[in-house]
Amino acid sequence: MSTTQNPDTALLIIDAQYDFCNPNGALFVPGAEKDVERIAQLIAIHGDQLRGIYVTLDTHHVLDIAHPLFWEDPNGNSVAPFTLISSKSVSDGKWIPRYDKEFVMNYLKTLESQGEFQHFIWPEHCLIGSKGAALDDTILTALLAWTHRTGQEYKAVVKGTNRLTEHFGVFQAQVPIENAPETHTDDAFLAELNTFDRIFIAGEARSHCVATSIKQIVKLAPHLIPKVVVLTDCMSDVTNWGHLADPIFEEAAGKGMLFTTSADVRF
């Protein structure tokens, strides 16, 4: 990290979208409505000292591998949201993929071999072109004010459009797919972030997309670790899943990543 008085700083806002941040959203993360207020306040107060703001946009098809309509039970009923699906349960015939059956079994086995997230069915969320996929209004208002004030354009990074793999992390899908470059490591984005002295990270959800993004930085771009500042009061967990993030954050902190609050950051 730069030792200058005013380090060159970027703000990375992960998935601050209607479906996650609004209480009426399809996959509302409790606490997110307050998180976006704190992020907006940071932009309003310190925006002149931010050289770049990046927003990621979780973006899905309806027939996504993690959505109910992709799956059925032996009676032909769609799988309910919040169902865990293992490769064994598919082998046993408990759950049946309606599409790409051979690929899906290999996907599940690959996912399980990583020892990370099990395959989980979510409510349909952040559907392409939907209100739920749009930036939260509080964030968008703050970004527009920042652009009008500074003459800088915020940049959007879309993830999740490949329907055959989860894409929690910003920088790579859970299982990269051959001949699907949108699922592979986003080396260009990592290189762009490396042009900054300091990178603030905020957004939703701490337990999943934020934690996975942090883990990917540690694994794929360890040179960024000393530049990253995680704003812990600007993110919240999917209910009952905070334990997924805890060991990831502990490892990152042990390697030198900084964790603080938006109120305590210094420019």
Residues of the chain with pLDDT under 70: 1-6
Q: Does 130 reside within a domain? A: yes
144 with 105, same domain: the answer is no
Give me the domain span that covers residue 109: 68-120
pLDDT of residue 7: 79
Does residue 231 lie within any of the structural domains? yes
Q: Do residues 33 and 23 lie in contact, with contact meaning Cβ atoms separated by under 8 Å?
A: yes
Residue 2 lies in a domain: no
Whether residue 161 is found in the same domain as residue 241: yes
The answer to whether residue 267 sits within a structural domain is no
d(CA 226, CA 56): 22
* Residue 9 phi, psi (nearest 5): -120, 140
Domain count, the chain: 2
CATH number of the domain to which 164 belongs: 3.40.50.850
Domain-embedded: residue 266: no
Examine the fold and report which residue of 99, 120, 141 is the final residue of a domain before the chain moves on: 120
Identify whether residues 80 and 138 lie together within a single domain. no
Tell me, yes or no, whether 217 and 150 share the same domain. yes
Q: CA-CA distance, 241 to 208, in Å (whole number)?
A: 8
Residues 156 and 54 grouped into a single domain: yes
Model pTM score? 0.95
* Residues 82, 185 share a domain: no
* Statement to judge: residues 112 and 217 lie in one domain: no
Q: Do 26 and 146 belong to one domain? A: yes
By C-alpha distance, which of 76, 51, 79, 54 is closest to 65? 79
**What is the C-alpha separation between 126 and 132, in angstroms, rounded?**
5
Say yes or no: 18 and 78 in one domain.
no
* 212 found inside a domain: yes
Question: Is residue 241 in some structural domain?
Answer: yes
Kindly state whether residues 194 and 80 are assigned to the same domain: no
Q: Is the domain of 165 the same as that of 199?
A: yes
Same domain, 207 and 101: no
Q: Quote the pLDDT of residue 5.
A: 52
Is 1 part of a structural domain of the chain?
Answer: no
